[in-house]
Amino acid sequence: MSIQFTRRASILALAGVGAAAATPAAFAQSRGSGVERDRQSILAMAGDYNVHFAFNETTPFVADYEPLEPKTSGGFESVRVVSDGGDFIQLQHLLVVSHEGQNFVIKHWRQDWTYQPRNVLMYSQLNRWRLENVSSADRRGAWSQTVWQTDDSPRYGGVGHWDYANGRAMWTSAPALRPLARRDAVRNPPYNRYLGINRHALTPTGWVHEQDNEKIGERDGQIAAIVHEDVVNTYDRYSDYEIAAADSYWTATQEYWAAVRQAWDEAITRGRGVYVEEEAQNGAITGPTLMGLASRVQDGEVQTAAAVAEARTTIQRATRVA
């Protein structure tokens, strides 16, 4: 496709790539330089992990808002390389949950990386995402990261650079808007979007995803910052969980999800962006249907081709030009 963020590798590979344990300094010294070092930094995020999520509202910017108590959660997550086309890399996260002796796999978020992107899909306002052009100066040496929800509907995008100062590998984005996460949306809060900065950094035991989020709403008809939030999500290499459950799910459903990604790409390409309604509990309204179809494919209740046809119809009905 002509739009860079939608390029797909010709072969979808289930490649559980993990980086060998090393110090950040050793990583920076052993991976060469330039774009290939950036690529290896991205690919090093694939693997199997014990994950810990920490959300902490800190400073309020309006007098009548009391920051929430810090919220933490965690679990096990397998990150797989869906495609690696050189200057375009896709990583799919698969959450593994154990309950009453059974293992459940939840297709989690996906991150797409594009080197020197000409455009990036960005959240613009409630229920709307637009393809934004990136200037030649801003894309020089830069990587975009586009993040997608569990059903492969869009979430947010950003542009930044990898750097290796002081012996560590870190990518930092420019500030960009994003919609509310479910943890906040279900509370009907006084803010309705985030202005966030992302950092991805490799660590001796895996990697960390840090976010600086300014939570924004409206007061008296004016845009207002309500509170600041620090987010630290750590991914530590770990193998003592049912990794095979994640791989089994992905083997059974990856063809279906490849077609779903293509359907979203087509919807976004048609309007250089997309409108899709979001709801507090599920994110995009397409989520329950698209996720449910994947489960039915895995269980053998429906053939992949039939599930794809229903998924494409669902996406077509739920979306329109941004």
Query: What sign results for the dihedral spanned by CA atoms 206, 210, 124, 217?
Result: positive
Confidence of residue 100 (pLDDT cuts 50, 70, 90): confident
pLDDT value at 181 more than 60: yes
Residue type at 62 in one-letter notation: V
Q: What is the pLDDT of residue 321?
A: 85
**Is 21's pLDDT higher than 60?**
no
Residue 114 predicted with pLDDT over 80: yes
CA 306 to CA 304: how far, in whole Å? Answer: 6
Model confidence at 32, pLDDT cuts 50, 70, 90, reads low
Model pLDDT, residue 5: 35
If you search the block for the tokens 């930094």, which residue do you land on?
41
Pick from 245, 250, 127: which is nearest to 177 by CA?
127
Q: What is the DSSP letter of 141?
A: T
Instruction: With 0.85 as the threshold, say if the pTM is over it.
Output: yes
User: What SS3 state is found at 21?
Assistant: coil
Contacts 24+ apart (CB under 8 A), 255-259: 255/12, 255/304, 256/293, 256/294, 256/297, 256/304, 256/307, 256/308, 256/311, 257/92, 257/107, 257/152, 257/294, 258/8, 258/12, 259/304, 259/308, 259/311, 259/312
What one-letter code names the amino acid at 236?
D
When pLDDT is cut at 50, 70 and 90, the band that residue 20 belongs to is: very low
